[in-house]
């Protein structure tokens, strides 16, 4: 189930994610789906990930963002 409630400053949530050390160094960032639903919204986060040329997957209740524009291969 995806929640659609977003707090007052989704841009602040986006800044928080993409200003992290992992994101700025081309690493991996993960966020709890509940946090994303409350603070940013899934559609807004997906749009930002896409805009940056990054990749995002969801596993269980976690979003995993690969903060680099290179190719991605799911091994298993």
Write the pLDDT tens digit of every residue in 18-35. 999 999 999 999 999 999
Is 4's pLDDT higher than 60?
no
Q: Can you give the pLDDT at residue 36?
A: 97
Mean pLDDT of 44-68: 97
* Partner residues linked to 41 by β-bridges: none
pLDDT band at 50 (very low <50, low <70, confident <90, very high): very high
Residue 6's pLDDT is 61
> Which region among 7-11, 23-27, 52-56 has the lowest average model confidence (pLDDT)?
7-11
Alpha carbon 15 to its chain centroid, in Å, reads: 11
Quick check: helix, strand or coil at residue 59? strand
Q: In what order do the strands lie in the sheet with 62-66?
A: 28-32, 62-66, 55-59
Q: List the beta bridge partners of residue 55.
A: 66
């Amino acid at each position: 189930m995806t929640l659609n409630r977003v707090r007052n400053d989704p841009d602040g949530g986006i800044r928080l994610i993409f200003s992290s050390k992992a994101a700025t160094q081309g690493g991996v960032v993960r966020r709890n789906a509940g946090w994303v639903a409350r603070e940013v919204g899934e559609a807004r986060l997906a749009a930002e990930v896409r805009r940056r040329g990054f990749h995002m997957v969801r596993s269980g209740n976690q979003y995993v963002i690969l903060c680099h524009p290179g190719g991605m291969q799911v091994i298993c």
